[in-house]
Amino acid sequence: MKYRLMDLLACPICKNFPLELKVFTESEIQPPKKITRCELYCAYHNLHLSSNTSTECLKCYSLEIRDGIIICGNCGRWYPIEEEIPRMLPDELRNKNEDIEFLSKWRTRIPDRILLEGKPFSLKS
């Protein structure tokens, strides 16, 4: 997944924007020849953008997020990123066993509020 995607994503349940990103693993890739600056939010630098904000976009475009988690600070839902793919499914389409396995695997990198109270599943559920 590209960092740039976070400039476009909102929580599918409550529509909150921007979402919080925690990156567990990433890999370097060849950046494209044409680089487009994020419009509202830069996840690489974790900052809201204004017309005069300066960011280092080339570094962002040369990284691919392999594993991580996307967190909605409004409703407490979380969405895994595995093998470069964000899985932003509604609650009823999520697999509890897969989600619990993901939380267990990355428990040292995931905030306690998600491990204990995250939606739709937590390590307490």
pLDDT attached to residue 10: 97
The CATH number for 99's domain is: 2.20.25
Number of domains comprising the chain:
1
Under 8 Å between Cβ of 62 and 89: no
CB-hemisphere CA count at 13 Å for 122? 15
d(C-alpha 82, C-alpha 90), whole Å: 17
What are the tokens at 20?
């919080």
94 domain-assigned: yes
Q: Output the pTM of the full model.
A: 0.93
SS3 30: coil
Per-residue pLDDT tens digits for 70-113: 999 999 999 999 999 999 999 999 999 999 999 999 999 999 99
Say if 124 falls within a structural domain: no
**Residue range(s) defining the domain that contains residue 88:** 3-117
